[in-house]
Amino acid sequence: MTSHLDFAGATFADGMVGDGDDTNEVADLAVEKHRRIVIAFVGMAFEARIAAGPGVLVVCRAAGGKLAAVVESAVRKGYRGLVSFGVAGGLASHLRAGDWVVASAVRESQTVRATDAAWSRKLLGMIAGAVHAPIVGVDVPVAEPAKKRELHRATGAAAVDMESHLVARVAAAHRLAFAAVRVIVDPAHRVVPPAALLGMRPDGRADVSAILRDLATRPSQLSPLARIAMDALAARASMQRVRQQLGPHFGLLDHG
């Protein structure tokens, strides 16, 4: 699930992508050329690179404490939407790595926040085979199939991640259009080995040395880790393809 499975290998950005020179230029141009602007909140650095595009300001979870301040400033500049984008853990048994969930709502403990219906419908129309179902947000990874099954039973959610509930809170506070679109990276039946959970740096990059150290002490993890890596590659490829399809503003409708 998000925030702990990025070890398949890539070049990463750090923290809030809007702070980088290239992306900042894109964001500045977007403010000038587009009347409707979207903030994309992601969990990991590779997701930030994929999410970036015209009309989109990307904030990574490493800068999550600043999300409310970023959104408050962005609203004054005409931003109209907030989207949670990236990978998620599967809870529904039929979902496989690379499958998409467009959230109908986001659950957090006993709180349920609906997503924007019109925006979500458009996303569903743009992503072939996407499932329209609730997503549950958590603050700690859900790594074991038994816990995934229990979470699915208790919430009815199809997927779990560690960002969507944060985005839902902020979107509600600022009355922004809100959507969550997530690709499955670890299916419900997949065990996430401890090495994968250790391999996440605070800035959203993979800590390969931590993974290798844990593998050295617990080599039995190698096989499940390899399966998780294959799932991660499938999810990333699907994410890159779908992000191109979504285009500027993640397909946000003009709500006027």
Provide the whole-model pTM. 0.81
- The band of 27, judged by pLDDT with boundaries at 50, 70 and 90, is very low
Per-residue pLDDT band for 246 (boundaries 50, 70, 90) equals very high
Residue 28 within any structural domain of the chain: yes
**Per-residue confidence (pLDDT) for residue 67, from 0 to 100:** 86
Which residue in this structure is represented by tokens 């590659």? 233
| CATH at residue 133 | 3.40.50.1580
In a domain, 44, yes or no: yes
Domain assignment of residue 49, yes or no: yes
Q: Has residue 214 been placed in a domain?
A: yes
In a domain, 198, yes or no: yes
User: What pLDDT is attached to residue 15?
Assistant: 33
Buried-state track 225-250, b at ≥16 Cβ within 10 A, e below 16:
beebeebbebbbebbeebbeebebbb
112, part of any domain: yes
Residue 175 lies in a domain: yes
pLDDT digits (tens, 9 = 90+) for 163-201: 999 999 999 999 999 999 999 999 999 988 776 666 566
* Overall number of domains in the chain: 1
Task: Quote the CA–CA distance of 90 and 99 in Å, as a whole number.
Answer: 9
Which domain range does residue 104 map to? 17-244
The answer to whether position 256 is within a domain reads no
